[in-house]
Amino acid sequence: MARKKTTKFSRRRQQVLARREHVLYPGYVFCPVSEAEQALGAVRVGELLALYGGELRKADVQLELVLREEQFRVVDDDRPDGHAWTLREYMDDWNRDLAADAEQTGEEYDLLPDEQAVVEMLHDWHRSGRIRVTRDGVIEWQPL
């Protein structure tokens, strides 16, 4: 009998966590290609479909729209209240961090060549679950 209670409790807890997740990140549902094309254009949607493996979520489209704005906001361990970045600032900061790490470790590194490389990197992190986009369009790093 105790086992059923544990199972029920676990199931309820999973449901509560899923609802909480949906409230915080409501865009993590399927996005029709026509809707994505209307927001981003057919060419970019084709590129994103290839990157994301043939299916887009609304959050994938939202991330692209957020990155097209003049600035985007990132929340991470270093800045729990968030920090606003332009693509150029984010790229420069990333490249500085890579150079500092390489100097300490002696390993070679590849700089991000342009803002498009930042966009692709952020989409790759989004696809892998390292970052998420909130309902307010804030990019949040996820705990590993």
Burial class (CB in 10 A: 0-12, 13-18, 19+), 16: exposed
pTM score of the predicted model: 0.83
pLDDT tens profile 63-108: 999 999 999 999 999 899 999 999 999 999 999 999 999 899 988 8
Domain locations along the chain: 2-141
Strand partners of residue 140: 75, 132
Q: Which two tokens stand for residue 3?
A: 């086992």
Per-residue pLDDT reduced to its tens digit, 19-31: 667 677 788 889 9
For residue 110, what is the DSSP state?
A: -
CA 20 to each of CA 25, 37, 42, 108: distance values in angstroms, whole numbers, following the listed order: 8, 29, 33, 42
Residue 46 CA: distances (Å) to CA of 42, 52, 61, 63, 78: 6, 10, 12, 15, 35
